[in-house]
Amino acid sequence: MKIKLERVNDAVHFRATNPDGLTIDIDGSAEVGGENLGMRPMQAFLSAMVSCSSIDIVTILKKMRQEVTNFRVDVEGLRVDEHPKVFHTIHLHFFIGGQVKEERAHRAIELSLTKYCSVSMMLKESVKVDYTLTLEP
């Protein structure tokens, strides 16, 4: 897997490009010269984790023959106060709509977070990851 990262301006705005040409813009905070032209690196990390898990969950629910009509996740990462300001806790709140049985939704989430999501698995020794679930009609 390869990613190319290039500086976009004369400050700290960067663009990451994958081999297919798809991009993500990354920028620093104003304190380090950022101009709010992209996500902060730690925001991008949370986005990677929650999207990895969401792909797993939707796929698992489909295999369980559950009808998912909408899917949303709110994620909050809590960081330590000292540098490096790593995450110590990540909380995910899943909102899943459709004809989905609660026990199957929990099973899909657990499978993702403890077995399939490679981003989550990289965190398992150092970050507490927990979740809540709201089923919607």
Q: Hey, where are the domains in the chain?
A: 1-39, 41-136
Average pLDDT, whole number, for the chain? 97
**Count of beta carbons in the 10 Å neighbourhood of residue 53:** 26
pTM: 0.93
Beta-strand relationship, 87-99 and 67-79? antiparallel
List Cβ neighbours of 132 (8 Å cut-off, separation of 6 or more).
91, 92, 93, 94
Superfamily the domain 41-136 falls into: K homology (KH) domain (3.30.300.20)
Give the tens place of pLDDT for each residue, 6-48: 999 999 999 999 999 999 999 999 999 999 999 999 999 999 9
CB 117 within 8 A of CB 127: no
The two structure tokens encoding residue 8: 């976009």
* pLDDT the model gives residue 9: 97
List Cβ neighbours of 134 (8 Å cut-off, separation of 6 or more).
93, 94, 95, 96
3-class SS of residue 22 = coil
